[in-house]
Structure 1
């Protein structure tokens, strides 16, 4: 189920003097509309999952569901990067060393993903 909602419960923050003089105006505390996606199985008494998004209203519900459920894939990939490919094994002290390490780990992940999804 997808509904357009206006989030509530966030207090209005005051703009700094610099922001107000820069022409940004004063924020009235009203948050913009958002789309709420709820996962509510037919046999359940209440929703089992809920997501809030600011994607355009024309986004199809199937795309909203796909994006909401992709979190598992992202967490799986991050766990594979850390534990399987050594993303968390860097012990250097330079930005260049860290950058090289992350680049090689990412390249290894791309290679493994390509091999896993390749049809032989």
Structure 2
């Protein structure tokens, strides 16, 4: 980590340039370092414990409550990735995450590719830039099943904004493509 710290700081300065406050950019850098460190679990608590400057509360605030717009950050990362890997194709894929409870956003009994049958899970859809040797996600979104529209208390408890409604089916690639944070001319 020490070897790449200077390079990581330049990367963070570039991709988080749109983030308004210095402290937010600092916690963004800390969060990225946590993701890059060894360790099986990449959730806030174990990452904070592994980082010398890790602060669980500050990292949690940065990830879940801090008011910064992730769209320009994602767009800048996508532009950087596309300039390096020069994608030949766009891969549209879905991924499912089996879940035991029902509190996580989008959890419902639905087809779960991870287990090969209907199960309690979350489903996300992504668009990746890919070549025969590299792939990187550019855009992703969690599928919000219809049952979440009829349960305002559940939505509030999970932090789903009122303006977010049911997503189309998990195979909605065209919505994802048209809202991809990278200009297609950059990634041709």
How does the TM-score come out when normalised to structure 2?
A: 0.21
Q: Which is strand-richer, 1 or 2?
A: 2
TM-score for the superposition, normalised by structure 1 = 0.30
* Larger Cα-atom Rg: 1
